[in-house]
Amino acid sequence: MDDFLHMGGYARFVWPSYGIALAVLIWNVWSALRLHASALERALRRVAMDQSQTTEPASIHAPARTGEAP
């Protein structure tokens, strides 16, 4: 077991590399979860806003234009 931990004399390079890789993986998962929660919150807010706009009277919406070129 002692030989494994010393990594043939390269332990000072190997173990920090494992630590950095683990830190990057943890940050990646945390960042993805945070961004997903933010996107979900924005989407729910947008759906709620769209639903509140569709319940307003139709008279405040501009009439649809037909037959005109863009």
Burial class (CB within 10 angstroms; exposed 0-12, middle 13-18, buried 19+) of 14: middle
Task: Please enumerate in sequence order all residues whose Cβ is within 8 A of that of 5, keeping only pairs 6 or more positions apart, or say none.
Answer: 11
Q: How many CA atoms lie within 13 A of 61 on its CB side?
A: 9
Give the pLDDT of residue 58: 54
**In the chain, where the domains are located:** 16-50
Distance CA 34, CA 40 (A): 10
Q: From first to last of the 70 residues of the chain, give the pLDDT tens digit.
A: 888 889 989 999 999 999 999 999 999 999 999 999 999 999 999 999 988 887 655 555 556 666 665 5
Give the pLDDT of residue 57: 57
Give the pLDDT of residue 4: 87
